Copies of this chain bind each other. A is one copy, B any other.
Amino acid sequence: MIASLLNAIRTPDSHAGRRLWIVVATLILLTLVAAVLDTLPDLPDWAVGALRAFEVFVVVCFTAEYFLRIIAAERKTSYIFSFFGLVDLLAILPFYLGLAFDLRGLRGLRLLRLFTVLKLSRYREAVDRLSRAIRSIRAELTVFGFLALLVLYLCGICIYYLEHPVQPDQFRSALDGFWFALTTLTTVGYGDLYPVTALGRLFVGVIMVVGLGIVAVPTALIASALTRRPSGPQE
């Protein structure tokens, strides 16, 4: 049975390899669901116990898989220190170090394994097209990000100086100003902070219009990049 598992690991495109991938992916999805259930308040004891048992079961499975992958790998060290090798290790290690509870967030790393689905040829092409389009406007996006950071900084500092005297408990420092600037420039606008002074509102009004640009320009850049270089192989 171990031999056939090793075989499945070595040939991810084979029938056995795909079946293994589906088993692993299902385990990961169950793990993600368990991580959510874990956060529910007032869980009955049996549920906590079941979640613990499931976690032990999953860790055992992934530990077995980890060692099988090391055995299956031709160059052991290159797997161990590869991106997915480290992800696999970090996702099980805390459990053995008795840190399972405090570092259980690391279990979330397992979902990175799901990214291997993007290696399917159909999606790989789509990823390629998207990333090629975005690479072609790297310089524009960098300039734009630089300007956006400057606007964010200026807006955060200014709104602090404009609103702090009137709302000292809301705008306690420039950090609150930055948080406000971010929620405004991205047009999220929670409403936990907002200007109340006439000058503050005037200033934020200008910043909002800039925020429209911060939404509009990258959208436009990506759209034009995708339109100009639509096809994969011709290039």
Q: Give the interface of A toward B (CB within 8 A).
A: 32, 35-36, 38-41, 105, 108, 111, 114-115, 117-118, 122-123, 125-127, 129-130, 139-140, 142-144, 146, 150, 153-154, 157-158, 160-161, 164, 172-175, 177-179, 182-184, 186-192, 194, 196, 198, 201, 205, 208-209, 211-228, 230
Contact = CB atoms under 8 A, between A and B. Distances in A.
Contacts of A215: 212, 215-216, 219
A211 B226 contact: no
A139 B157 contact: no
Contacts of A154: 108, 111
Given A35-B174, A130-B217, A188-B208, 10 more contacts: A32-B153, A36-B173, A126-B139, A126-B140, A127-B143, A182-B205, A186-B212, A187-B187, A212-B218, A216-B219
28 contacts: A36-B157, A36-B173, A36-B174, A39-B160, A39-B175, A40-B174, A108-B158, A111-B153, A115-B150, A118-B146, A123-B143, A126-B140, A130-B144, A178-B205, A179-B201, A179-B205, A182-B205, A182-B208, A186-B211, A188-B188, A188-B208, A189-B191, A190-B191, A215-B215, A215-B216, A217-B222, A219-B219, A228-B230
